[in-house]
Chain A
Amino acid sequence: CDKDFEEVNTNPNASTNANPDLLFSQAILKGNYVLDRTYFYTSYLGAGMYVQHFANYKDASLAGMGDKYGINDLYQGFYFTYLYPNVLENLRQCMEGAEKAGHMNKVATARIWRVLHFQRLTDLYGDVPYKNALKGYPENEFLPTYDPQSEIYDGLLTELDQAISALQAGAPTFGAADFIYQGDVAKWKKFGYSLMLRLAMRMTKIDENKARTWAQKAIAGGVIEQAADNAAVKYFNTGQVYNFNPVAYEIGAQDYKADAYGDANVEGGKFSKAFIDFLRDNNDPRLPVMAVTYNGTTPDTTSSIAKGLPSGTLNKPNNFKTFSEPNPATILRYDAPLLVLTNAEMSFLLSEAALRGWTNANTASAYFKNGIENNMRNWARFGAAGVIAEQRITDYTTAHPLNTGGSFNDQMNQIHSQFWVALLLDELECFANWRRTGYPVLTPTNAPGNQTGGVIPRRFPYLQTERSNNKTAYEAALARQGADNLLTRVWWDKQ
């Protein structure tokens, strides 16, 4: 009586065969927060507002939860909800398939890409499921325990180490399915070592020795220092929404709409005063590249009229239109590339490493200068409006050398203030770097409804359904890490 049932119960619109290449392609796009509000909630309204790149006038309960330090489970839990199934599980199955086929380069590449995301996840929330995560299928383990962040870091570093060693020139790669390096094994190694340096430097406060060991290993392996090695994903302004640059699409369609002309911004967003002031006060040639001020319907890049919205603003100011916001000719271009990890970031980390005496391949001030130059030149990838004349770059670096005569902290301040400018848009990295270094020094806001007593948050609260759906593990994490609020510090963020 069940003749044909297997055929009836076979989905004609899908396949039971996973193709690791195609899954990897998707994991790259999804990993870049495209669609589904991930960038918007997590990076823009959350981390980007904490580090005062952006500001908005919404109240603390919803879209203003970043700028005003509110709690919103939907927005703050979103990354947790989204990342595991859509990126990490995708990559797990991609790796499983590649391993079956014996394609070890693919396994290693996917693993490196996955490390990037696990680090973002743990940096944002602290302890998260890692070792026992992603076992819903086929193991049917539905209550994954949360791992201490220190162990996650150990694990991620080990994974990176192994994956980098596993990469072999000549063996099959993802090829064109790899939107970042088109299967270039040497570049993936650099990417791997760059991630290793990122992970290593994150540990400077909590375990300086370990940080040094891993940083030196990464530097010896070779991190991204050339523009040609930058990890970037190409996007287009035609076709599907997922072909659009996710940052441009998310903040463009959700806040800086094409016909808002600086006034009808849906979520009331602008660049923050702290950010614009820093650029303007230092006569930064990146200011007109990044920011515009609307004059009627015309975006005006004149630096002298640039002005940031004070973080913590509660109501729409009457002169809202006159505040600066992202440049539609660069940042908001749907065909802008998405820079995942660049020579600018590495230069600043190398500069700090040199400052700490962990490398002597170059001086801290040389790396510092490289960082600024690299970043200024990288803006050219955003199109004509992003091109900064070499002379202006030279003028800026000449005017702003690393003050090698200053204290360690002075130099850290300089390096990481530049890091903060250079990594605009990579808000998760900026938020983590700011928490680690404390630079630039930001003035917190203290708006009604804030949940921190007027202190900049140090993490996102967990997804609240974890309380009911994974209760024991959730409670164990709290017992270890501290209360599930905005102020509890993650492991590496030692006071």
Chain B
Amino acid sequence: CSLLCCISALAQSNGSNPSEISGTVSSTVSGQKIAGATVMLVNNNSVATTTNNNGEFTLKLPAISGAIELLITHVGYERKQVRLQAGQTTIAIQLNDARALDEVVVTALGIKKEKKALAYAVTEVKGEEFTQAREINIANALTGKIAGVNASSLASGPGGSSRVIIRGNGSLNGDNQPLYVVNGMPIDNTTNSMPASGNGSVGLNNDRGDGIAGINPDDIEAITVLKGGTAAALYGSRASNGVIIITTKKGVKQRGIGVEYNSTLTVERPAIVPDWQYEYGSGQYAAKPIDQAQAIAYGRLSYGAKMDGSEVVQFDGVKRPYSPQKDNIKNFYRTGTTFTNTVSFLGGSDSFTWRASLSDLNNHGIVPNNKLNKKIASLSVGANLSKRISIEGYAQYNIEKSENRAGVADAAGNPNWGTYMIANTVDIRNLDPGYDANGKEVPWNAVGFASNPYFVVNKFKNNDDRNRFIGNLSIRYNILNNLFVKGRVSHDYSNFKYTGIVPTGNLYFADGYYQNYLSGITETNAELTVNYNTKIIDDLTVNVMAGGNQRRSVTDNTNLDGTGYSVPGFYDVSNVVSLTTSKALGRLRTNSVFGSVDFSYKNLLFLTASGRNDWFSTLAPQNNNIFYPSVGASFILSEAFQLPVWVNFAKIRSSLAQVGGATPIPYALNLTYSLVPGGGHDKRPLQMITNFNGANSGQLMVPNQNLKPLTSTTFEVGLEARFLNGRLSTDIAVYDRRTTNDIVRASISPSTGFNHALFNVGEMSNKGLEVLVSGFPVKNKNFNWEVSYNIAYNKNKVIRITDELSTIEADISVNRYAFIHHPEGKPYSTIMATTGLKDAKGNQVYAADGREIASPTLVDMGTGVAPLTTGITNTFNYKRLSLSFLIDGRFGGKVYSATNLYGTRMGLHKMTLPGRDGKLTVNGVDNGGNPFSKTFTPDQMWSYYNNWQVLSEKFVYSSDFVKLRQVIISYSIPVEKISFLKMQSLTLSLVGRNLAILHKEADNIDPESTFSNSNAQGFEMFGVPRTRSFGVNLMVKF
């Protein structure tokens, strides 16, 4: 163990010195002897020699006093200093492979650079980290792995969207997610349907997935996360939130065809079951239902009598014991399964390499009848057509099919709502199948809007089909050895078809509703770059790059909406009574020119500068372009200075980058007028001001000719170092990111005639610290322990909005119980709640019937975005066995839980127990300021607690959590013993995701259960339960 050697060497540095020392130099990894390594005396490089072909050396020493220290260097290996023990004359020296230091990473525009030359933070994650314990959406697998990358998977069911935020939210309501890039070129990451947080009246409120979910983890060689603004400076505005670069696997030169097969089967169960009260059963006024009508009226109320097991009538007229039903969650949700299979083939020669893969993912969600199937085929080719021309191409095609995605948030059409809120003495299975002989929804509670969960899963339809092509092709022509030109095109086209059916026979909207949309999303980029590098003088090289890009983005939507079916139960567009059709073609274009210059001096100082000018089609001609620069430096301290021996590598980096951006909303410059679809009224056409956010939304937005580009500026300083011969490494970064002139769609007073306006608003700041520490506490032949720990803190603040607005209302929860604002001086996504009205002395003000009166002022409850994120991965390898687990946590955020608010209104929450026995007394003041006191009778408890809906602050919780996110136990089967199968390797693993919540503060819910990736974070409400998954993974290589 070299650490102990070092320490013992330091301890014994006295005695006389020998005149000569001899020894060998070899590689730590391979054990191979290293020829040509320089061995010299520290502080005296005239005393030096080199190793021979056998790695042996002999160094004659002058007469010196004190300890002898040798410095051993060789290209491709880490420098090493060794202190000799007194009287020592021979030594065996091992050098660490320095590949890690000369690590090459993929950066902006797909350009590979030495990591040490980079002026900004980059983290690379290998593809294999995503292929064992899998997430259906690859982006969710980033959770906890990278400092400063906050990936939240949403409570919207399998196939839902992701929300990945790097270094905080920079924009108040623009896209805050990173730019996703495949093989150097951007892909689309549109969220197809963002579920509404507020009252959703039609009942088709589900998340239909995003763009990144279309990438198969098995096709990924590596994911590189560029956190800083410098990355953006070359990619343009969309990269201001960071870039996630996906490099796909390529073919390799080999004999024959390589085959890889990866198969994972997991089962999923709801991870959390609410801890409701099971003392008092169904009822409203401390009594049991006496007949079927009452049983229905109390179907979602647990304010009844004390449970006593007596036979009590239920919603269906059947008498059953008045006893706790604790397993409704477990009973309604089935065991989900996800079965993923990928087979890939690869091969190649000197001039041509290729890889092809086919993948099939088949998920049966925990919500009955919910299914997802995803098939992805990919092909990657590379060819050297001549000595000077090479091409690379990548293409993938996805066929994705989803059935019955579950609704979230508001009650109508949301199967989770009733499952959570059903009275605690009713077994939910008795609601099955949810419809009667005529196909009509069976009522189980007083409000038709709170759908029967079984009716929803059996009769509603939420089906979508997505076909997607992603392709890119690049051609490189080496004009000279140090001058090349490269042309690339990429195209990402998704065709998305959705059909949503609110069936006839449902209780809240008897006519039924039909929704169908066809959405085509196209993102096309064409790029041309020229690259030249040369040595200016000795030790100083320069690389110059210049290029241009054109981006075209088109969304082409056809929407069919209608109510009523002529023939009940036949859900085809031909059968819709009142049908409207509308089309929306959204086009935008960005043209850009850019360039960069990189200097490298003596491999110890690297300088980089870049500039880009963008022209945006969505802005008025006088304001439509912006130039933005970036500069950065990287300085290798360990090359420049004599650092302590235990420091193997140290680098300091700093960069300052600016990015400009524009509104992604086309046609926002002029007011336009649309015909009301559907043929008009009384044979006359109707015209309206074009509605924003859907043809019939009734929402208008003020056009703004004066919008100018926004800018986002990031300053970063970072330190990277490796210690103790690579046993310990760290990467620390601090950054300051500011967005100014952010283009924001703000809600305004409707009395202006409009609901929204587009503004350039003041300023938002994100400041943060990121620390990554990794190391090998134990490392020997049979046993390794590797730890990687990351922690990041991001402080967000809305500095200024506009002269006119001091806050932006981002979202409103169902029934307006809680709000999310972006208030000046506070963080983005601040949860605003209602609170009790207090008199000057802080006494609660009560109404005559003993209800707390609410204050008219909303109170700030903190941000819905946790500022502190952390994760630790431990990996243990023992011979062929490996165990790895990831624990991650988030701290400092808040969540408004509508599940708990409704759980209180419905009498399920344990908070509603006091007073059921007639012993609750409230004290305060009345409206006139006089002392007030009231003791409630048990029958008043529903009315009392139901009123807590006006005190939503009671339902805002700390969203802190620590979770055991992932566990993988792998065994690599010795294939050499079954050589007739000709396998190269065979690994069998047991995998688990979201296995346990080790710490949380919110009652009854998973604090991570927000259901939308919108810019209003912090609402939890009847999402699809987060699942705990277990499974088996098999990987074979032939």
A: residues with CB less than 8 A from B are 1-2, 4-6, 8-19, 22-23, 25-26, 29-30, 35-37, 58-59, 61-62, 72-74, 80-86, 88-90, 92-93, 128-129, 133-137, 140-144, 176-177, 179, 234, 236, 239-244, 253, 257-260, 264, 266, 268, 315-316, 318, 320, 448-449, 453, 463-471, 473, 484
CB atoms of B698 and A449 under 8 A apart:
no
In the complex, 19 of the A-B residue pairs with CB atoms within 8 angstroms, ordered by the A residue number, are: A8-B589, A8-B617, A9-B666, A14-B672, A26-B676, A29-B686, A72-B816, A85-B699, A88-B753, A129-B751, A136-B752, A142-B749, A142-B805, A239-B578, A241-B563, A257-B511, A264-B448, A453-B848, A464-B816
Tell whether A471 pairs with B806 under 8 Å between CB atoms, given A80-B750, A89-B753, A234-B682: yes
Shortest C-beta distance, B203 to chain A (Å), equals 13
Q: Closest residue of chain B to A143, judged by CB?
A: B804
Tell whether A22 pairs with B755 under 8 Å between CB atoms, given A9-B617, A85-B699: no
Measured CA separation A12–B469 after assembly (Å): 26
CB atoms of A144 and B749 under 8 A apart:
yes
Measured CA separation A9–B754 after assembly (Å): 21
User: A29-B686, A89-B700, A470-B749 known; 18 other A-B pairs, CB under 8 Å?
Assistant: A2-B615, A4-B589, A5-B624, A10-B667, A19-B673, A23-B673, A82-B750, A85-B753, A136-B754, A143-B804, A144-B751, A179-B684, A239-B678, A240-B681, A241-B563, A260-B510, A264-B443, A465-B749
Does B618 touch A at the CB level, under 8 Å?
yes
- Which of A59, A144, A465 is within 8 Å of B747, CB to CB? A465
Does B591 touch A at the CB level, under 8 Å?
yes
CB atoms of B755 and A85 under 8 A apart:
yes
Tell whether A25 pairs with B815 under 8 Å between CB atoms, given A9-B617, A253-B511, A316-B446: no
CB atoms of A8 and B587 under 8 A apart:
yes
Instruction: Please indicate the chain A residues that have their CB under 8 angstroms from the CB of B580 in the complex.
Output: 240
CB atoms of B670 and A16 under 8 A apart:
yes
CB atoms of B588 and A8 under 8 A apart:
yes
CB atoms of B679 and A239 under 8 A apart:
yes
- Which of B293, B670, B680, B805 is within 8 Å of A469, CB to CB? B805
Does B674 touch A at the CB level, under 8 Å?
yes
Partner-contacting stretch, out of B687-695, B714-722, B874-882: B687-695
Measured CA separation A270–B681 after assembly (Å): 31
Does B671 touch A at the CB level, under 8 Å?
yes
In the A-B complex, the 6 residue pairs with the closest CB atoms: A136-B752, A89-B753, A22-B687, A14-B672, A129-B751, A470-B749
Measured CA separation A15–B615 after assembly (Å): 25
Does B585 touch A at the CB level, under 8 Å?
yes
Measured CA separation A26–B746 after assembly (Å): 26
CB atoms of A22 and B685 under 8 A apart:
yes
Instruction: Please indicate the chain A residues that have their CB under 8 angstroms from the CB of B689 in the complex.
Output: 18, 85, 89-90, 93
- Which of A37, A243, A464, A473 is within 8 Å of B201, CB to CB? A37
Q: Closest residue of chain B to A144, judged by CB?
A: B751
Q: Closest residue of chain B to A59, judged by CB?
A: B946
What 0/1 readout, one digit per residue, does chain B (251-286) give for beta carbons within 8 Å of chain A? 000000000000000000000000000000000100
CB atoms of A5 and B615 under 8 A apart:
yes
CB atoms of B199 and A74 under 8 A apart:
yes
Instruction: Please indicate the chain A residues that have their CB under 8 angstroms from the CB of B589 in the complex.
Output: 4-5, 8
Instruction: Please indicate the chain B residues that have their CB under 8 angstroms from the CB of A19 in the complex.
Output: 673, 687
Tell whether A484 pairs with B672 under 8 Å between CB atoms, given A136-B754, A468-B821, A470-B749: no
Measured CA separation A139–B530 after assembly (Å): 48
Measured CA separation A141–B580 after assembly (Å): 34
Instruction: Please indicate the chain A residues that have their CB under 8 angstroms from the CB of B940 in the complex.
Output: 448
Instruction: Please indicate the chain A residues that have their CB under 8 angstroms from the CB of B618 in the complex.
Output: 9
Instruction: Please indicate the chain A residues that have their CB under 8 angstroms from the CB of B674 in the complex.
Output: 13-15
- Which of B593, B685, B703 is within 8 Å of A1, CB to CB? B593
Q: Closest residue of chain A to B802, judged by CB?
A: A142
What 0/1 readout, one digit per residue, does chain B (576-601) give for beta carbons within 8 Å of chain A? 00111011110111010100000000
Shortest C-beta distance, B267 to chain A (Å), equals 39
Shortest C-beta distance, B61 to chain A (Å), equals 68
- Which of B672, B698, B699 is within 8 Å of A16, CB to CB? B672
Instruction: Please indicate the chain B residues that have their CB under 8 angstroms from the CB of A144 in the complex.
Output: 749, 751-752
CB atoms of B702 and A315 under 8 A apart:
no
Measured CA separation A26–B680 after assembly (Å): 9
CB atoms of B809 and A36 under 8 A apart:
no
Shortest C-beta distance, B561 to chain A (Å), equals 10
Does B1004 touch A at the CB level, under 8 Å?
no
Measured CA separation A22–B687 after assembly (Å): 5
CB atoms of A61 and B949 under 8 A apart:
yes
CB atoms of B748 and A484 under 8 A apart:
no
Q: Closest residue of chain B to A85, judged by CB?
A: B700
Instruction: Please indicate the chain B residues that have their CB under 8 angstroms from the CB of A1 in the complex.
Output: 591, 593, 613, 615, 625
Measured CA separation A179–B681 after assembly (Å): 9
Tell whether A84 pairs with B750 under 8 Å between CB atoms, given A140-B702, A240-B578, A243-B681: yes
Instruction: Please indicate the chain B residues that have their CB under 8 angstroms from the CB of A10 in the complex.
Output: 667
Shortest C-beta distance, A61 to chain B (Å), equals 6
What 0/1 readout, one digit per residue, does chain B (945-967) give for beta carbons within 8 Å of chain A? 01101000000000000000000
Instruction: Please indicate the chain B residues that have their CB under 8 angstroms from the CB of A85 in the complex.
Output: 689, 698-700, 750, 753-755
Instruction: Please indicate the chain B residues that have their CB under 8 angstroms from the CB of A29 in the complex.
Output: 681, 686
What 0/1 readout, one digit per residue, does chain B (747-780) give for beta carbons within 8 Å of chain A? 1111111110100000000000000000000000
Instruction: Please indicate the chain A residues that have their CB under 8 angstroms from the CB of B686 in the complex.
Output: 22, 25-26, 29, 242
Instruction: Please indicate the chain A residues that have their CB under 8 angstroms from the CB of B946 in the complex.
Output: 59, 61, 449
CB atoms of B749 and A266 under 8 A apart:
no
CB atoms of B510 and A129 under 8 A apart:
no
Measured CA separation A141–B757 after assembly (Å): 11
Measured CA separation A81–B583 after assembly (Å): 26
Tell whether A23 pairs with B687 under 8 Å between CB atoms, given A465-B747, A469-B748: yes
- Which of A22, A62, A81 is within 8 Å of B815, CB to CB? A62
CB atoms of A179 and B682 under 8 A apart:
yes
Chain A CB count within 10 A is highest, among B511, B673, B943, for B673
Shortest C-beta distance, B448 to chain A (Å), equals 5
